[in-house]
Amino acid sequence: MGKHGVSILGATGSIGTQTLDVLRNFPRMRVRALTGHSNIKQLSESANEFKPETVCVPDAEARIRLRALLDYDCEIVTGDEGLLYCAAESGAATVVNALTGRVGLEPTFAAIQPGVTLALANKESLVTAGPLVTEAVKKAGAKLTLIDSEHSAIMQCIEGGARKNIEKIILTASGGAFRDWPRERIEKAAAAAALRHPTWNMGKKITLDSATMMNKGLEFIEAVYLYGVRPEQVEVLIHPQSIVHSMVQFADGSVMAQLSTADMRIPIQYALLGNTREPNDFPRLDFTGIGSLTFEKPDARRFPCLRIAREAVSRGGTYPAVMNMLNELAVQAYLEGELGFYDLSALIEKAFDSYTDRGLNSPGDIREAEDWAQEFFRKG
């Protein structure tokens, strides 16, 4: 029997819950596996609704808690081994990797199999291992699509013109919570202010990455690896209205843009349906109510993470992995009040001055780079 249905890794997070919301409109798409971490109650509610054959939780204690909350019988797997099982062995034709951070890398590789569509929301997979991931997808005959408003927009724009004719990719950015703040005010900002995003409702990590614009730096690196363009062919523009989700400029000067409301369910549906379109009941754009659409260049002095991301991809090898690991650690430290806002970027710049790249040939090289970054962070 062939693969069918969907496996969702990270089903209780922002992308995971919105993926389930999309699937409510398409009952023909069976849920084969769900994974969650700390919110066992929410995971049980989703499992009781969608009835997957397999559910993954962190450990044996969580398995006991989940079992007591389920109203049907299913296989409950645990830990990293269970996560990899849901990625590779659930029988799903589409695997949604909505995990946050470095934990998503191994499931990404596990999910890449012949005929499988990997719907990737885990930015770290492409940022740290872009060349390895794209090569593995090509070798396996799998399909890679990104659950991301900007990259979904780019993919839709490329449908209107040959990839070989791309002249420039234009990534749009909301600018995050501090878009209009002066550097002196940003420097003293507490985490609570950074988490007040003006247009998107996301988890803490990605919301803070939006405030530093590291999120756009990660998407910049993804674009270089995914579309095979040079770094100088990718431009980032601040677009406060979050209506134009990205653009592609072609060799003849034509520009294709994708517009929609700021609703992540739209790119999620596009990915789940194999980059095809079907009706839904999501809110539509009201062009008479939009007003003006504005674009501006980001201020490198206020948002140094964009420059750091460009440097990381230009250096290549495992520099993006070092950058990503240090950003994860620094974001958590900032949220806990242990670092200042600009300490995040300063830390990565300092690390780049000390790090010696050994090349990127296997996932093991990434683990070594991340271990180095963790030790560098620990030493301060």
Q: Residue 17: which of 46, 37, 50, 41 has the closest Cα?
A: 46
Can you give the pTM of this predicted structure? 0.89
Instruction: For residues 166-178, give the mean pLDDT.
Output: 91
Look at strands 166-173 and 244-250 and give their pairing: antiparallel
378's tokens: 């620990």
Same domain for 165 and 308, yes or no, is yes
Same domain for 137 and 176, yes or no, is no
**Does a structural domain hold residue 133?**
yes
pLDDT at residue 267 is higher than 60 = yes
Same domain for 248 and 167, yes or no, is yes
What tens digit of pLDDT does each residue of 68-127 get?
Answer: 999 999 999 999 999 999 999 999 999 999 998 889 999 999 999 999 999 999 999 999
The CATH number that applies at residue 36 is 3.40.50.720
- The C-alpha R_g of the chain, in whole angstroms, comes to 20
**Does a structural domain hold residue 249?**
yes
Look at strands 54-57 and 31-35 and give their pairing: parallel
Cβ atoms of residues 238 and 327 within 8 Å: no
Q: Strand, coil or helix: what is 191? A: helix
Cβ atoms of residues 169 and 228 within 8 Å: no
pLDDT at residue 153 is higher than 80 = yes
Whole-angstrom Cα distance, residue 101 to residue 377? 16
Whole-angstrom Cα distance, residue 376 to residue 325? 10
Same domain for 192 and 92, yes or no, is no
Domain membership of residue 111 as a residue range: 6-146
Whole-angstrom Cα distance, residue 37 to residue 56? 8
Looking at every residue in the chain, the average pLDDT score rounds to: 93
Instruction: For residues 161-176, give the mean pLDDT.
Output: 86
Lowest mean pLDDT among 177-181, 196-200, 376-380: 196-200
